[in-house]
Structure 1
Amino acid sequence: MCCDFFYPRLGGVEMHIWSLSQCLIRRGHKVIVITHQTDGPNKRQGIRYMTNNLKVYYLPLVPMVDNVTLPTFAGGFGLFRTVLIRERIQIVHGHQATSAFMHECILQAKTMGYKAIYTDHSLFGFADAASIHLNKVMKFTLSDIDHAICVSHTCKENLVLRASLDPSIVSTIPNAVDASKFTPSSSATPSPPLDPLRDPITVVIISRLVYRKGIDLVGKVRCLIYTAITFSITYGNSVAHHQVRVKA
């Protein structure tokens, strides 16, 4: 697993990599994670071990902005090659288009003849300057990719267009929620059934308040479904908070 985004930093990509690694380890595969070192109170350097002996290499690479390493395309080649040989790696799996380290790892892996897989986590546009630049880089990096994975069918269509990929080498593994981890406590007193015509219904939404997560639809859905529904929104620092509060 190769990416700029991994623990102790927190986020969806970080959790995805860790969870996928744990699942593969439980199935008997050997998995390692390669990322860059972190400074500050959660300093990580060298080799660390996580749950189920997941081995993590924190390479001495310099982060540039937003935890993304400075793109050099060859600066970390020696270290990366050493890790692949030492660990007897067979498949290199990169994550997230905005990770410069991922692009370098896939290009270097293909140079050495390794199989390479890429997982795309986000949707990107086609008109703004940042997306145009990133799409060109994606097309360059994935020109020789063995397989790609997307987290939704829309994401697959988006990636195929952005990177000019053959759809036959792109698979969709949709994101999902493990419902078994969100069950009521066995010791809780069961509440009586609600009367949908009189008792209010509370819907809890845990989401980033950004357009591409569908948060703009919350206010409209509330009015269309039922006026007695109360929305409780858990949010972080986001400019969309005021807009959602007004609409709801």
Structure 2
Amino acid sequence: MRIAHITDYYLPRLGGIEMQVHDLATRQLDAGHDVTVITSTPGGRDEPDGPPVRRATENLPFAAALHPAAPWAGRRLVRDGKYDVLHVHAGPFSPLSFAGLALAAELPTVVTVHSLISYMEPAFRLLDGVSRWSALPAVWTAVSDAAAEPVRRLVAPRPVFVLPNGIDAARWRVEPAPREPGEVLVVAVMRLARRKRPLQLVRMLRRAHDLLAPRVRLRAVIAGDGPERRAVERHLRRHDMDWVSLPGRVDRAHIRDLFRRADLFVAPAMLESFGIAALEARCAGVPVVARAEGGIREFVGHGEEGLLVDSDDAMVEAIVRLAADADLRGRVAARSRTVPPPVTWPDVLALTEDMYGRAAVRLHGRAERSA
């Protein structure tokens, strides 16, 4: 099968959509499919064992992921490729992906929404009044039930299926490193962008640190980079938080090593459609503290693989509770190591192919009705 993945955001940019599209395309390639990634993200080189990448903006002036000419260049690449199916990966603002969706009347198309878009529903309804995008014969999916809910309201009565991100759980199993008595390490892995709430995280960590001292020495590592890094650094300097480190962007081997030493993982974002880093931590046996509103709740049960909260105050309380209770951390870690998550790659790949088949049936059925 000739598959084209359409995404505004891809490597070398780092984030959940970027890594999941790469991993999905790579596994489909290994399964014998002919797979191409079409993106407007500039830069980077194709990996020898990874999918070929067509960058719609690489020959345009001022190449950028959100380039005004990217939708037209991307459509041309899709039509030239003669693909059997398009898999469109959409975020809250994805002009290239929207252009891919517009081809659903020509090619079987699956759309996967990777973000929580509730706050943008009025804008999408306004756009639908002009373009009628919701009437296109695409198969709609989202990475979690939380992410699917606003899409269901927009495209009703059509169904929206959950097509979760996949993970190689065995790859993330780690042997815990020896611990320093009385010390607890909190780890977060995120893009340092406003919607991920890194500033709120360091404020919560400062409160937890003060509540735990002197009985527990709290340390933290926040891995990742992004536009909020300088603001976070200023906050750390202002409050003498030298017990928090910011290693920047790190590779997966470094993250696995962090998880070997981590006592708990914190995900502060309220608009977390899935939370792949939290899933990786869960597979490594690290207790997860996260907001209950997002997609993390679909693989972390409250009191089972971690603690789910509904406010920043409750998140501080959860951090303090886990940091102060080694027995609770041990029970949560043991469950995470022994109970596999419900979103491993074999299941996700099979579900993805099922969605491709549905897209072909939907398009061909529409063509027959029009004939």
Q: Bin the TM-score by the shorter chain.
A: 0.5 to 0.7
Q: Which residue of 1 aligns with 2:109?
A: 116
Which residue of 2 is the match for residue 6 of structure 1?
Answer: 10
- The DSSP-based 3-state class of the residue aligned with 2:149 is helix
Task: Identify which of 151, 165, 174 aligns with 1:183.
Answer: 174
Q: Decide whether the 8 Å contact of 2:90 with 2:115 is kept in 1.
A: yes
Hey, what does 1:92 align to over in structure 2? 86
Q: 1:63 to 1:231 in 2, by over 3 A?
A: farther
With over 3 angstroms needed to count, the CA separation of the structure-2 counterparts of 1:29 and 1:80, relative to structure 1, is: closer
Q: Is the 8 A contact 2:152 2:160 kept in 1?
A: no
Question: Using a 3 Å threshold, how does the CA distance of structure 1 residues 217 and 74 change in structure 2: closer, same or farther?
Answer: closer
User: Is the CA contact (8 Å cut-off) linking 2:142 and 2:160 kept in structure 1?
Assistant: no
Q: If each structure's helix is expressed as a fraction of its own residues, which one has the higher value?
A: 2
Name the CA distance, whole Å, in 2 between partners of 1:37 and 1:223.
Answer: 39
Normalising by structure 2, we get a TM-score of 0.48
170-179 or 3-12, which moves further after superposition? 170-179
Q: For residue 50 of structure 1, give the secondary structure of its aligned residue in structure 2.
A: coil
Deviation at 1:17, TM superposition (A): 1.2
Alignment match, 1:148:
140
Question: Which letter maps to 1:208?
Answer: R
In structure 2, the CA distance between the partners of 1:78 and 1:150, relative to structure 1 (3 Å rule), is closer
Return the TM-score normalized by structure 1: 0.67
* Cα 1:20/1:76, change in 2 over 3 Å: closer
What are the within-5 Å matches in structure 2 for residues 1-248 of structure 1? 1-36=5-40, 38=42, 42=43, 49-52=46-49, 54-59=51-56, 62=60, 67-70=65-68, 77-84=75-82, 89-97=83-91, 98-108=93-103, 110-112=104-106, 114-126=107-119, 132-134=122-124, 136-137=126-127, 140-161=132-153, 163-166=154-157, 168-174=159-165, 178=169, 180-181=171-172, 183-184=174-175, 191=178, 199-209=182-192, 212-213=195-196, 216=200, 219=204, 223=208, 227=212, 228=216, 230-234=218-222, 235-236=224-225, 237-238=227-228, 241=232
Q: Which has the higher contact order (CA 8 A, sep 6+)?
A: 2
**Match for 1:164: what amino acid?**
V
* Cα distance in 2 for residues equivalent to 1:175 and 1:240: 33
Relative to structure 1, the CA distance from residue 166 to residue 67 in structure 2 (aligned partners, 3 Å threshold; closer, same or farther) is same
SS at the partner of 1:119? strand
- Which deviates further from its counterpart, 131-140 or 6-15? 131-140
Pairwise CA distance, 1:158: 2.6
CA distance in 2: counterparts of 1:15 and 1:23, whole angstroms: 12
Spell out, residue by residue over 1:95-125, the C-alpha distance to the aligned partner (whole angstroms, 9 max, x if none): 12322111112212x232x210111111234
8 Å CA contact 2:39, 2:74 repeated in 1:
no
CA 1:118 to 1:244, structure 2 compared with 1: closer, same or farther past 3 Å? farther
For 1:17 and 1:23, how far apart are their aligned partners in 2? 10
Task: For 1:141, give the aligned amino acid.
Answer: W
C-alpha separation between the residues in 2 aligned to 1:72 and 1:123?
23
How many residue pairs match? The answer is 222
Cα offsets for 1:139-187 (capped at 9, x unmatched): 84343243223222211113223x33446332241565846246249xx
Q: Which runs of 5+ in 1 are unaligned?
A: none
Closer, same or farther: CA 164–204 of 1 in aligned 2, 3 Å: same
Q: 1:136 to 1:27 in 2, by over 3 A?
A: farther
Deviation string for 1:190-233 (max 9, x for gaps)? 63x666xxx12112222235565465467289749x82261414
Identity of aligned residues (%): 19
Cα separation, 2, equivalents of 1:53 and 1:205 = 28
Moved more, 52-61 or 176-185: 176-185
1:36 and 1:62 in contact (8 A); partners too: no
Gaps of 5+ in 2: 240-311, 317-371
Q: d(CA) in 2 for partners of 1:168 and 1:99? A: 22
